[in-house]
Chain A
Amino acid sequence: MNEFGFRTQDLVENPSTRLAVCLCLDVSPSMEGDPIEELNKGTALFFEALQKNELTKHSVEIAVVTFAGTAVARQNFGPVLQATAPSLNIEGGGTSLGEGVELSLDLLEERKKAYKLAGIEYFQPWLIIMTDGEPTDNSHLRVAPRAADLVQHKKLSVFPIGVGDDSDLETLQMFSPKRPPLRLKGLRFEEFFEFLGKSAERVSASNPGDTVPLDTEGISKWAEMET
């Protein structure tokens, strides 16, 4: 057993190029009720789709970070076939978007190191940020430049998603200089995660460095396209 433990056994036995996907999810009280229920259903479907698809099941790795007052890593990166979708609950203490993203970026960095150590190739990793309100602290001022810098250097792909009419897209924009934030239509988490799964499949079928066109037509199924 090497120093990283069981999570790297797969890196040794499966030489497929990896796509690391980090879900950074708001679980503050405003998400209570239908929103968090739909979010849970959506993530469950996402995991299932990834596990079933021939390409993604050996290439995608997921981590799940939740944030409210503090940020918690619910699940660290590992083979998706061995992962189960977490069941998320509401937490209190505010909405610390910055802390959530910071923890996500830290997990991604750590995983990239493991890839490099094992000589595993990886696609540009994904950070999915989903939040329904305004952040209640200023941690994002500190963290957003870090994310933006990674995006500019093509080391990260950010999907910023605002949930509900009150979501603050301006703050989300700070993390994603290339991809504009999108507002989820109603609570269409399932459609969003379906789109994400199909996109993951396209990436898994590509070669690292390729520009993979995502299904932009499909986006209108779940997102309000803002002008």
Chain B
Amino acid sequence: MAVKPSHLSDQLGRTARLVTRSGTAVNLREELGREGEGAIFRTEKPGYVAKVYQRDHADTSRRRKLEAMLAHPLDRAHPTSRGICWPLAILFDSQDRFRGYVMQEAKGRPMGRRLFVKTELQASFPTWDRRQLVNACITTLERIQFLHRANVLLGDINPENILVENESSVWLVDTDSYQIGQFPCPVGTAHFTPPELQDAHFGHVLRTPQHEAFAVATLVFMVLHLGKPPYAQRGGGSPIENIRTMEFPYPLGGRSRRNAPEGAWRFIWSNLTYALKEAFFETFDKSCRGEPRRTASDWLSLLHQYAHALDRGHVSRELFPASFKPVTRHAQDKFGAASDESGRSLMCAACGAPFVLSQREEDFFRSKGLSDPKRCKSCRSSNAPQPKHVIPPITQRQAQGRSGGGLHVPAPVPLRSISPSKAVKCAKKRAVGRPVRARTITSPTGQGDVVERFLQFLSRLFS
């Protein structure tokens, strides 16, 4: 960053020399950044920076708050504390006037700039898939949980004060705005502010854990949806208006409004675990207004569970999945016939065209003890012959859906591959009395062959 002449340095005098309460000198070096209330400078000590306030912002109440924070230092033994830029010492000038404080230097770039624009994310972390994204989210939540356990509320959780270095190194900055004891957080960001606080004057309000929980949920949603706010939707009001009315556009089971924004967002949502979706829905939807919100610890459990599902291949690992999550039989049994989506897209083994298997049709086949039909409706009725061999995998194109409601025909995508162990489990369930027809499985990684042969082997065993 270019060294700019700073009028703050001029204010301080040419040597830009400050001292701590105990008299230790802190010499300022280059300016790293500037906001309305002050600027951040490197110091002569590597790894430590100073935040120096503008004259009219360096007031008594701010100083008292910092003193309260110094009186409650973070547990330095805890590794999580390393990612939080807590004040370490208060700074005074040569006339003993309060000027600012010293803290550790954060690394990384703001989450909003680094993770929330596709091209930026791909440039920063070209090898990332969802697993690393979830890790980064977990790392962030661990820091938030750490603060909550110390009775500190962040207040203004937003993607500009969370710096991401990599999936396991995340820094929380602007800690001087946190809510500690009776000192409120004087700022907020509309997107992360719960409906009940939208009209509040932040400096005059002490937030509660319930208020904070809304911000945490919004953050988790945005990370998992690569920057898309939960209330952004097709039509309707602006996201802020939608927060007030709690018009949440994503579906859960049978409960849904189908105006999620265009693009990969609906697919991302679909590919989350049910537990995550339920947690989001119960935070954001108007039907759950007033209900207690998940805590940071709750979100951590949910994220670990999601990570597990990613590892097992139950859900798409792609940052931008190209299709809805196929409805598994397990989900059917557990949640009844209703599913998020109105249909599943399959490939016709006879004519090669994509077709949609509606929920109703799927129920029908299940009730007859049959697995998915391999042919589209017209080929079934005309009894077109099924080829003996599997259709080769289709290259995935971004599915472009139309507005929700009714049947929906995305571009053809391969079916999700089932891991061999799962195939065995499913096969065993179906063992007695009924013929097992191996599903036509194709896999983008080209392992379809192996899985297909294994399943054919199984079906021969049990038929």
Contacts and interface: CB of A to CB of B under 8 A. Distances in A.
Contacts of A119: 228, 232-234, 249, 260-262, 265
B235 interface: yes
B190 A118 contact: no
Interface stretch (A12-20, A38-46, A188-196): A12-20
Given A119-B261, A207-B191, A208-B240, A16 B117 contact: yes
Contacts of B227: 15-16
Contact of B189 (A14, A118, A207): A207
A13 B263 contact: yes
B262 A116 contact: no
Contact of B239 (A1, A55, A121): A121
A110 interface: no
Contact of A209 (B116, B240, B261): B240
Interface string A111-148: 00000111111000000000000000000000000000
B362 to A, nearest CB: 28
A151 B265 CA distance: 33
Interface residues of B, number: 29
A118 B261 contact: yes
A118 B235 CA distance: 8
Contacts of B189: 207
A183 interface: no
Contacts of B233: 119
Contact of B238 (A14, A15, A54, A121): A121
Contacts of A1: 400
B226 interface: yes
Interface string B113-135: 10011111000000000000000
B117 A58 contact: yes
A150 B262 CA distance: 27
A14 B191 contact: no
A208 B262 CA distance: 21
A116 B190 contact: no
A216 interface: no
B393 interface: no
B450 to A, nearest CB: 34
A2 B320 CA distance: 17
Contacts of A118: 234, 261-263
Contacts of B263: 11-13, 118
B232 A121 contact: yes
Interface string A35-67: 000000000000000000011001000000000
B238 A208 contact: yes
Given A2-B400, A58-B117, A207-B191, A12 B262 contact: yes
A1 B117 CA distance: 20
Contacts of A11: 262-263
Contacts of B120: 58
Contacts of B113: 54-55
Given A54-B113, A117-B235, A118-B261, A15 B400 contact: no
A117 B235 CA distance: 6
B354 interface: no
A209 B229 CA distance: 16
B264 interface: yes
B235 A14 contact: no
B221 to A, nearest CB: 12
Nearest to B240: A209
Nearest to B400: A2
Contact of B116 (A8, A15, A54, A120): A15
A207 B190 contact: yes
A119 B249 CA distance: 10
B118 A14 contact: yes
A118 B261 CA distance: 5
A207 B264 CA distance: 24
A207 B235 CA distance: 20
Given A118-B234, A121-B239, A13 B118 contact: yes
Contacts of B262: 2, 8, 11-12, 117-119
Nearest to B160: A205
A209 B232 contact: no
Contacts of B249: 119
Given A1-B400, A58-B117, A119-B261, A15 B229 contact: yes
Nearest to A13: B118
Nearest to A213: B36
Contacts of B116: 15-16
Nearest to B265: A119
A55 B113 CA distance: 8
Contacts of A116: 234-235
B386 to A, nearest CB: 32
Nearest to A210: B190
A2 B234 CA distance: 15
A121 B191 CA distance: 11
Contact of B232 (A14, A15, A54, A207): A15
Interface of A: 1-2, 8, 11-16, 54-55, 58, 116-121, 207-209
27 contacts: A1-B400, A2-B400, A13-B118, A13-B119, A13-B263, A14-B117, A15-B117, A15-B228, A15-B229, A16-B117, A16-B227, A54-B113, A58-B119, A58-B120, A116-B234, A116-B235, A117-B262, A118-B261, A118-B263, A119-B228, A119-B233, A119-B249, A119-B265, A120-B232, A121-B232, A208-B238, A208-B240
Given A119-B233, A209-B190, 9 more contacts: A13-B264, A14-B119, A16-B116, A16-B227, A117-B234, A118-B262, A119-B228, A119-B249, A208-B240
The 3 A-B pairs at the shortest CB distance, nearest first, are namely A119-B261, A12-B263, A119-B232
